[in-house]
Amino acid sequence: MGLERVADGVWLLRGDLRGAMNIYFLEDGDGVVQFDAGTKAMRKAAAEARQLGGLKRVVLGHAHADHRGTAPYLGVPVQCHPDEVADAESPASIQPYMDLSLLPVAPVRWLYPFLLRHWDGGPVKIDSTVSEGDEVAGFEVLHFPGHAPGLIGLWRESDGLAVVSDVVYLVDAARLKPLPEGEASIPHPAFGWDHAKAKESLRRLAALEPRVVATGHDRPLRGDNLRETLERAADKL
């Protein structure tokens, strides 16, 4: 299985649809912390990642089906933000606030309910919570509400690395295809809890002036002027 090195002590496992579903492993002492849990189909690959050291716990960036998929299968404590616990523990594969009828392309609109159920690993028992300002494997937890109420990212100021789940998309999820290289977009409102807050959160990420933005889907975004790229994305949709 292929783990890609993102930065010092940070590894990316890509899987499922076009390899666009991401799980991150963060070295933490003698083991690793898993950030985000991808899709159910990735559970075997995620378990094999223990070659990095013992898996200590899973931290969910948010509780959508394609981010919680492996979590019930790994046999370690799972954490998320307090505002995400109810959705993580719910059997629903589609959050009540999602409005898939907003998706512009009909076949994609019809496909998503099946995809979300297929990706989902089912309800996840949350062991404890992490909030703004907490520390996870040398990163600071930041709360980025919008796409989901309890969406969190991890920020490491020393090398400007932000691991942010779905604060920003590098794929066009509404058309199920990649965005042009170097482009970013705000997640489509069809999948989101509060689009105005999602924009605010994306602007907050931009203002950190990150050097690398590692997202929930597709390869990390790197560049000298990510602030501008992210601000443009926040203004687009």
CA neighbor of 98 nearest in space, from 61, 149, 142: 149
Q: Which residue is nearest to Zn ion (CB)?
A: 64
Q: Tokens in use for 39?
A: 């899709």
Q: 16, 36, 120, 166: which one contacts Zn ion (CB under 5 A)?
A: 166
CB of 22 to Zn ion, least distance (A): 12
120 forms part of the interface with Zn ion (CB under 5 A): no
CB of 50 to Zn ion, least distance (A): 26
Burial (CB count within 10 angstroms: exposed 0-12, middle 13-18, buried 19+), residue 175: middle
Which listed range, 27-35, 120-128, 131-139, 159-167, lies at the site for Zn ion (CB under 5 A)? 159-167
143 forms part of the interface with Zn ion (CB under 5 A): no
36 forms part of the interface with Zn ion (CB under 5 A): no
Q: 14, 43, 57, 64: which one contacts Zn ion (CB under 5 A)?
A: 64
Conformational region of residue 12, where left means phi above 0, alpha means psi within -120 to 50, and beta covers everything else: beta
Nearer to Zn ion, 159 or 177 (CB): 177
Name the β-bridge partners of 95: none
Q: How far is CA 184 from CA 82, 96, 125, 198, in A?
A: 28, 26, 32, 14
Q: Which SS3 state, helix, strand or coil, does residue 129 take?
A: strand
195 forms part of the interface with Zn ion (CB under 5 A): no
CB of 148 to Zn ion, least distance (A): 6
Cβ neighbors of 35 (< 8 A, separation 6 or more) are: 23, 24, 25, 26, 58, 59, 61, 136, 154, 163, 165
CB of 216 to Zn ion, least distance (A): 6
188 forms part of the interface with Zn ion (CB under 5 A): no
Contact 154, 142 (CB under 8 A): yes
Which listed range, 17-25, 60-68, 111-119, 222-230, lies at the site for Zn ion (CB under 5 A)? 60-68
Rule CB under 5 A: which residues touch Zn ion?
Answer: 64, 166
